[in-house]
Chains A and B, each alone.
Chain A
Amino acid sequence: MISRRDFFKGAGAVAVSAAAVSRAGAATLPEAASAADANTQVPPPPPNGRHFNPVVTLNGWSLPWRMNNGVKEFHLVAEPVVRELAPGMKANLWGYNGQSPGPTIEVVEGDRVRIFVTNRLPEITSIHWHGQRLPNGMDGVTGITQPAIAPGKTFVYEFVARRPGTFMYHPHADEMTQMAMGMMGFWVTHPKDPSQHAVDRDFVFLLNAYDIEPGSYTPKVNTMLDFNLWTFNSRVFPGIDPLVIRQGDKVRIRVGNLTMTNHPIHMHGHEFVVTGTDGGWTPPGSRWPEVTTDVAVGQMRAIEFTATDPGDWALHCHKSHHTMNAMGHDVPTLIGVDHRGVAEKINRIVPDYMVMGEKGGSMGGMQMPLPENTLPMMTGEGPFGNVEMGGMFTVMKVRPGLKRGDYRDPGWYRHPAGTLAYEWTGALPEPARSGSAGGHLMPARGQGNVELKVRKPTKGHHGH
């Protein structure tokens, strides 16, 4: 994480270089701040304009703005970026202002917003402001509501952020490619009254997915469903920052889904309610408790809960393939297969061969060399050993006594005595088991064992 001062120092450096290039340009365009790494950068309170409580973008940041005659001006630069998906793996993506996803844009209900969009991609682009009420000509659909932004050109979008809530931005020009390459960002419109819907910690992240072949760096943009890297804000576990929460905090987590499948986001240790969708805030009377909420394709969900219980609580997509990193989907199951003799035969041909999978998929902490720029299928080291997770997985760290605004990782949770699962070391009596379980309810007809029988058609294929 980066301190506020560091953050502004970085932004200043960008401004200086921009001014050196073109004084006239600097006079008319707001600076395009850029982030160089994937750390979570907690934004400072707004320096001007209406007050709001900023959100924390997981492994991301919020875009600074300039007030110009009462108009909030932002500058987004669409450009190729190198994003670290986790330590040990980088990806050639397209994003905004140095990162993918781009910076979060935070405004207040009623703000007049002017966004300059510069295209430094090799192809046309545009930006669609997903979920916003705005004049049709500002909707950003190439060909329908505006001409495309050609490479090297800058377009200006301007509208009033009318509805408070949770939004996204993404291209609407060659969007399949551009979103497969990581072009997207978060948008939060805070309510005019900061006390409305107020929470202590407000986390945001986008769900996105990439298909990067092991040993390569650039996503395959034509993949439709068989992605191999399922990410929160273009990061995979163990590269996703924890959600650090003070015990007793009221917490909001806003999740947007720009992948091509749904993700049941599941929280351990607490139940929550869905307080917001793409359409706005849900009426309190319609909310019901959940521990998993499915975020469908192109949707937003805001969930809220009070972090009552200290600990390290997992927060993840419940599709188990989405908590894996790149893996072979055509690898046959070897569970229970006796390798004696065969392994030696294979070793004669492949000397470095090691038997894997005959007891399941667990790697048991094996350190095996992998193709370059490839993360292990499941990884992460916890206080009790291997976490064996990847992809859309992170941890909520609920601790008592944290300072307001302190998001530093407090380390692993120390369990009070008597609150940790332990090994039974006593006697293990044989449990009583029924000899005919299920036999009376659904007696099998015919033979007990299933036998494969081929029934040959006697009169060709007719007579169905």
Chain B
Amino acid sequence: MKAIDMNAARMRCVAAALGALALAGCAGPAPDGGLGEVSTLAAQRIGQPVKLDASSREAAEEQVAQLLAQPLTADSAVQLALMNNPGLKASLGELGVAGSELVQAGRLRNPSIGFGRIGNGADKEIDRSVIFDLAGLLTMPVRVNIEQRRFEQAKLNAAAQVLRLASETRQAYFVAVAAAQSAAFADQVRGAAEASSELAERMSRTGNWSKLDQARERAFFDDALTQQARARHEAVASREQLARLLGLWGDRPAFTLPDRLPELPAAPLEPQNAEGSALAQRLDVLAARRDAEASAASLGLTRTTRFINVFEAGYANKSASGEPRANGYEVTLELPLFDWGGARVARAEALYMQSVHRTADVAVRARSEVREAYSAYRTNYDIARHYRDQVVPLRKQISDEVLLRYNGMLASVFELLADARDQLNAVNAAIEAQRDFWLAEARLQDAMHGGANKEQGAAQ
């Protein structure tokens, strides 16, 4: 190793870096590790307050107990999930990792002291060095900048996780409520079939009906039994899915669901600048943009440091026996004899352009997803309203008319019961339509605000 002079420009660079260090040193994550910011990011998009950093375990426990005391709403289910879901807690741990890396980037590597003694008989050479990460110092502002951006991304990712959990919880909630409602209807259908079958059996016993007719009614009943069993399992399964998302276990799996899905909103959302606001709001778009910015920054860094290969500089002194101690420092610079650094810059440029294109891709996808999600939302709204305002009342009218015919002995009790089954099935279809609307609503919110689900890897 030889000490060589550094040119003035390099020295200025170091000085600038040292100056920047003072500034970058204080830029670290907030004391809550960024959770507050994530809460805010999520709250703006979920439309209800989100509190991820529970002040105390007891307070959290109490809040959970309060939420569980009432039949769940979609919002309270989301709140519970955000407080309780273990998967989310694990994900938020990553935020801490990124935060400490940011802190790390703002610190210089500890200087190291080297001491070597080489003896050769009476002739000995003692080599002492204090090495500290000068290149680290030089590049610190840029690295802090990058880590800052990475931390920002980690926060965006964490917020995206929150949104995803919120959306999954909402969907599971609607599915579970609808399934419970359907199971209750399956009980009623079974009741209708049971009444038919029982009456048929009694008619057969009295000699008024053949075994054939009785068997047919019995077959209806058996079908209804199967349907009821399936519906009941569906209710259990969807309830369990919700329980998992809510992170409930042990002595606390008990939560009550309301008897009915929430009513449809009086009017559907209108797509006012949905695509524009999705581009401004969507976390995956924001993350892609940050990624492009980070790439731009590292491209700049690569350009400035194209000739610095080994970012090592250090204070060195050397003393050999019988010779005065030599003091100095050493910085290794690469001479661009064979590699002008062009390839590395080109790579960085390519990486930058890649991230730009990825951002564009994410944006294109986001706009299209919003359009599709709105179409699904609107279609499901119209269908659910059609069921509510047309199909179910019409079915009711048909049942009323069948009852009038039964009154006049124009129709039999079996027609009455068969029609009752049809009516119940129509109501069930209406419930499913209502459920599908709420699922589509959750997916539209996803498309407007979250959307990071499929892009998780790309932003990093």
Residues of chain A having any CB pair with chain B under 8 Å: 214-215, 326-328, 330-339, 341-342, 345-346, 348-350, 352-354, 356-357, 361, 363, 368-371, 374, 376-377
Contacts and interface: CB of A to CB of B under 8 A. Distances in A.
A348 B198 contact: no
Nearest to B412: A331
Given A345-B198, A349-B191, A350-B403, A336 B408 contact: no
Nearest to B213: A332
B104 interface: no
A342 B191 contact: no
A345 B208 contact: no
B404 A371 contact: yes
Contact of B208 (A330, A332, A356, A369): A332
A349 B411 contact: no
Q: Which of A328, A363, A377 has the largest number of chain B CB atoms within 10 A?
A: A328
A449 to B, nearest CB: 13
**Main SS class of interface, B:** helix
Interface in B196-235: 198-199, 202-203, 206, 208-209, 213
Nearest to B195: A345
Given A350-B403, A377-B409, A333 B208 contact: yes
Interface residues of B, number: 31
Given A337-B202, A337-B206, A338-B202, A349 B195 contact: yes
Nearest to A345: B195
B198 A341 contact: yes
A448 to B, nearest CB: 17
Contacts of A335: 206, 208
Nearest to A372: B404
A350 B417 contact: yes
A215 B401 contact: yes
A357 B199 CA distance: 13
B257 interface: no
Contact of A371 (B191, B194, B405): B405
A301 B169 CA distance: 83
A324 to B, nearest CB: 10
Contacts of B208: 332-337
4 shortest interchain CB distances as A-B pairs: A368-B407, A345-B195, A328-B410, A331-B412
Nearest to A215: B401
Contacts of A377: 408-410
Contacts of B420: 349-350
Contacts of A330: 412
Nearest to A213: B410
Contacts of B406: 353, 356
A318 B398 CA distance: 36
B417 A348 contact: no
A342 B192 CA distance: 10
Contacts of A337: 199, 202-203, 206, 208
A214 B206 CA distance: 31
Contacts of A346: 192, 195, 413, 416-417
A376 B202 contact: no
A361 B412 CA distance: 12
A215 B410 CA distance: 11
Contacts of A342: 195, 198-199, 202
Contacts of B198: 341-342, 345
B188 interface: yes
A333, A334, A346, A363 pick with most chain B CB within 10 angstroms = A346
B191 A368 contact: no
A336 B213 CA distance: 18
Contact of A374 (B195, B209, B408, B417): B408
Contacts of B192: 346, 349
21 contacts: A214-B405, A215-B401, A328-B405, A328-B408, A332-B208, A332-B209, A332-B213, A341-B198, A342-B198, A342-B202, A345-B191, A348-B188, A349-B188, A349-B195, A349-B420, A353-B416, A354-B407, A356-B409, A357-B409, A370-B408, A377-B409
Given A332-B203, A337-B199, A371-B401, A345 B410 contact: no
B414 interface: yes
A346 B409 CA distance: 17
A332 B416 contact: no
A327 B410 contact: yes
A334 B407 CA distance: 14
Nearest to B189: A349
A356 B409 CA distance: 8
A377 B411 CA distance: 12
Contacts of B424: 349
A350 B416 contact: yes
A372 B209 CA distance: 31
Q: Which of A332, A376, A377 has the most CB of B within 10 A?
A: A332
B413 A328 contact: no
A367 to B, nearest CB: 10
B39 to A, nearest CB: 49
A370 B399 CA distance: 13
Contacts of A336: 206, 208
A382 to B, nearest CB: 21
B194 A214 contact: no
A66 B203 CA distance: 65
A328 B417 contact: no
Contacts of A328: 405, 408-412
